[in-house]
Amino acid sequence: MDKLVVNGGSPLDGPLTVGGSKNTALPLMAAALLADGTSRITNVPDLRDVRTFSNVIRVAGPTVTFDPGAHTLSVDASTIDHPVAPYDLVKKMRASFYMLGALMGRCGEAKVSLPGGCAWGPRPVDLHIDGMKAFGADVELEEGYVVASAPGGRLEGGSFRLEPSSVGATINLLLGAVRAEGPSRIENAAMEPDVVAFGEALQDMGAQIDGLGTRTIEIQGVDQLSPTTARNTPDRIEMGTFMLMAATAGAPGDPVEVRDGAHEHLGQDFKDWLGQTGVDVEYGDDVVTVTRPDELRPVSIETAPYPGFATDLQAQWTVLLGLANGTATVTDTIYDDRFKHVPELQRLGVDISVDGNTATVHGGQPLRGAQVMSTDLRASVSLVMAGMVAEGTTHVLRVYHLDRGYEDLEEKLRAAGIDIHREEYEEFQEPEPEPEEIA
């Protein structure tokens, strides 16, 4: 297995360049299945999740070609002859569940494994299933699979309210509705930039969609969609992560540039709260300049659907609070138990306690390097961040979680002044017990 080894204490002097968005690339890939022919997506990051989803798509019949150097991915969806997403792949990545909408939209039938739990809780898919039923699908659960079919081979369309609002369910329902027989309506739809960029790509393919970026999306189904060439958006979570790295590991008073992101996708809460910590941020078109102050002020945050503070940035904010002078809280209103990074940050010396969905951080304690364990993608990057400012060496184990969503992180950080490298290691395994003697 791989680990990242960070020798803390060297300031981040930038610049850091933001790559293509993981959470937009995946639905764009799913959208390609709706058209008979080859669609191309540019600015696709070379990530484990992109490769996993390519394999999920290949199982159904299409050909997926990825040029990681050029960050270009093609999906030839001329043939879809096996509308199935198997457990072995879906369990690796929840977003594989987008195959439900894509296959229902294209083929009117789908057999997609239920994703199961994830590191921080159950994460249900009831809204995806109930929404698909509301749009006219017959749905059965068989041996861990969702087996869906549209009577007559095509969804009718319908109306469905998402409660709570869900990124994934909005995407799945859009995938199904754009090729339905009739009109559809999604209420309390997700307004995340990932959903908007994906919906705009569908519009380019010929889909009729109104209300993207608002709480109510209306769709008029069409008979056919055409293949497209879509440019993936910059990754807003990578951008926010880099800004928080600059805010914590930058030398006080020295500006660090974060390039090629789309700061309008960060949401206003993130910008406002970061400003309140005393960090100076200048927002330019392609460059955001972040300057760490001498002293960080503690600012409490609460996650919320876009344009609120992204749950995918709360672990990184926790590290900032660990360095601030005073006490503040992180409340996650999207997930009840997304705090697997907390015990690991405690090992590095951060003073945190968790009560329900709120973490309280008493900042200002010195951080010291240690061996810590990645448990999920954003937790992993928070551990790297903490290692960058800790005294001594931090070993972040099981870095495969991080490889799901950050392309070349250690190369990017090394080029920006951080002492970090990747090493292989053996994980200690309990020895097999001696077989019992059978008389």
Binding footprint of ligand EPZ on the chain (CB under 6 A): 23, 26, 94-95, 123-128, 164, 166-169, 190, 194, 311-312, 334-335, 377-378, 405
Comparison of 17 and 24: residue with beta carbon closer to ligand EPZ: 24
Comparison of 165 and 289: residue with beta carbon closer to ligand EPZ: 165
Instruction: Report in angstroms how near the CB of residue 108 gets to ligand EPZ at its nearest.
Output: 22
Chain residue whose CB lies nearest ligand EPZ: 168
**In this structure, what are the phi and psi dihedrals at residue 144, rounded to the nearest 5 degrees?**
85, 0
Comparison of 26 and 397: residue with beta carbon closer to ligand EPZ: 26
Residue 73, SS3 per DSSP: strand
Comparison of 70 and 141: residue with beta carbon closer to ligand EPZ: 141
Residue 435, amino acid: P
Instruction: Report in angstroms how near the CB of residue 164 gets to ligand EPZ at its nearest.
Output: 5
Instruction: Report in angstroms how near the CB of residue 291 gets to ligand EPZ at its nearest.
Output: 27
107 is catalytic: no
Starting at the earlier edge strand, list the strands of the sheet with 393-397. Answer: 371-373, 393-397, 2-7, 419-424
Between strands 2-7 and 393-397, the pairing is: antiparallel
DSSP 129-197: HHHHHHTT-EEEEETTEEEEE-GGGS----EEE-SS--HHHHHHHHHHHTTSSSEEEEET----HHHHH
CA distance 125 to 141: 12
Instruction: Report in angstroms how near the CB of residue 423 gets to ligand EPZ at its nearest.
Output: 25
Burial call 305-324: b when 16+ CB within 10 Å, e when fewer: bbbbbbbbbbbbbbbbbbbb
Instruction: Report in angstroms how near the CB of residue 313 gets to ligand EPZ at its nearest.
Output: 9
Tokens of 58: 């290949």
Comparison of 227 and 305: residue with beta carbon closer to ligand EPZ: 305
Catalytic-role residue among 118, 147, 222, 251: 118
Q: Which residues are catalytic?
A: 118
